[in-house]
Chain A
Amino acid sequence: MKRSIATSLVFITLLIVFGPGLIWAAGGGEVNEIIVVADTRVVKSGVLKYFADTYNSNIVVFATWSVVLTAVYGVILGVVMDLIMSRTGLDLKSRKIVEH
């Protein structure tokens, strides 16, 4: 238990220290320092308006929502697709490894 906590702490520290470089690299280039403001005047849907408002007022909350919702939506879609795929009758738990 202690070992896994220690590993997690090391991992999180590394993520914080090296993350920005990693992301810069993965993104393929620096982002221009232009301030973008979401135009909430033309947004009618409640959810979209909430996101646009949050984007304008608190970018950290927006970033947190973005990551959490992406992860949650990814898991939901994964589970739903899993249910659908399980009804196809295919064996989705084993496979043979054949290279050639």
Chain B
Amino acid sequence: MDAIQGGSWLYLYMPIAGINIFWPGLVLIGFSVGTIGGFFGMGGAWMVTPGLNILGFPMAFAIGTDMAHIAGKSMISTMRHSKFGNVDYRLGFSMLIGTMIGIECGAQLIMYLERIGNVGSVVRWTYVIFLFLIAWMVFYDYFKARKKAKTGQVGEYGATGITWYVKLHKIKIPPMVHFKVSGFTCSLWLPLGVSFITGVLAGFLGIGGGLLRMPALVYLIGCPTHIAVGTDLFEVMISGLYGAFTYSLKGRIEIVAVFVMLTGAAIGAQIGTVATKYARGYGIRVAFGIAVVCCMFSVILKEFKFDAIAAVVILATIGAICLYIIKIMFQGAAQELRDKKKAQASLLKA
């Protein structure tokens, strides 16, 4: 309150939560998550919620505000990815159904566990195991692909490591669907089944699901990394919008903070999304793997009540990955503009 009366312009009063918030912090969170989310194709609730909590939002407000911000941010990123041709809408819609049913089943499983006992620890350790498995899969895949590249085993898009999707595409249970943007044909049951399983896990773990869905799209469904990123963002956008509505109904959303964060996210989303153009698929995958490892450590630290260190791990991860993505974007853009100039100069000479 003093901040308003004293005219401290760095603080903004949040009328619903009833607190003064350091607004440049909100812009920074929005920018960082916009950059990372646009690059990896996820909502990033695991990054935003602790960030908002640190700035002073009560947890319930942090979650609700985060949901609305993620919806808006994913919309901006999806628009950009869509122009690049990175969004497979057909695949996105077919997965949305499986995801929703799966998440409901996962949530029911949690309700059951809650009735019989200690749900918190079970969830956190399951989360750690899955994060470990994802990280292992990403790095194993990377080293396998490197090995293949060295021996000259290169496919249409370069060398690839894990190709589980090739076997899964051989399952010919009708209806068979061709996903034109992703460039493969498979049984409709494959995306439905995979999205159902990732949905159950997301519901069980209490997360949005981008962290699980993005690798599932790559390794199990067979999407090129860039299309996995765009399609996943499309799903995050729809679930985020609905999330924003229900959290608003519960009164746990601070719309002013959403707008301030979105302003930062709009710039970040452009950087993150355009950076995917200059990054190789495996560059995105490895950075994603590192983010997953850091997320895993923060969950372990939280389990042992080291909340402050967990927050530091998350914030340091956000900062480091953000800088990495910005570097990719600006280096790539500068190179493209140089190449364009050269091409124009040689045309003029000719």
Contacts and interface: CB of A to CB of B under 8 A. Distances in A.
Interface string B249-277: 11111011011001101110110001011
B135 interface: no
Contacts of A17: 104
Given A22-B100, A98-B280, 11 more contacts: A20-B246, A21-B104, A22-B103, A22-B239, A26-B240, A63-B248, A64-B245, A78-B79, A82-B80, A90-B274, A97-B224
A95 B262 contact: no
Contacts, number: 245
A25 interface: yes
Interface string B116-127: 000000000000
Interface of B: 1, 4, 13, 15-18, 43, 45, 49, 59-60, 63-64, 67-69, 71-73, 75-76, 79-80, 83-86, 93, 96-97, 99-101, 103-104, 106-108, 110, 145-146, 149, 154, 157-160, 202-209, 224-227, 239-253, 255-256, 258-259, 262-263, 265-267, 269-270, 274, 276-277, 280-282, 333, 336-337, 340
A43 interface: yes
A48 B73 CA distance: 22
A99 B107 contact: no
Tell me which of B15, B60, B103, B204 has the highest count of chain A C-beta atoms within 10 A of its own C-beta.
B15
21 contacts: A14-B100, A18-B101, A19-B100, A22-B239, A25-B106, A25-B206, A26-B67, A26-B103, A26-B206, A26-B209, A28-B207, A31-B252, A36-B16, A42-B15, A48-B15, A63-B245, A64-B245, A65-B255, A77-B263, A95-B277, A99-B282
A70 B263 CA distance: 11
Contacts of B75: 71, 74-75, 78
B63 A31 contact: yes
A51 B203 contact: no
A28 to B, nearest CB: 4
Nearest to B282: A100
Interface class of chain B by DSSP: helix
Tell me which of A31, A44, A59 has the highest count of chain B C-beta atoms within 10 A of its own C-beta.
A31
Interface residues of A, number: 65
A71 B224 CA distance: 28
Given A11-B96, A91-B336, A27 B67 contact: yes
Contacts of B246: 19-20, 23, 63
A18 to B, nearest CB: 4
Contacts of A31: 60, 63-64, 247, 250, 252
A92 B84 contact: yes
A80 interface: yes
A85 B274 contact: yes
A65 B245 CA distance: 9
A40 B17 CA distance: 11
A29 B107 CA distance: 10
Given A28-B49, A89-B337, A42 B4 contact: yes
A19 to B, nearest CB: 5
B282 A67 contact: no
Nearest to B60: A31
A9 interface: no
B84 A23 contact: no
A60 to B, nearest CB: 7
A95 B59 CA distance: 40
A59 B103 contact: no
A51 B15 CA distance: 8
A7 B83 CA distance: 25
Contact of B203 (A22, A35, A75): A22
Nearest to A34: B60
Contact of B243 (A26, A36, A100): A26
A42 B138 CA distance: 51
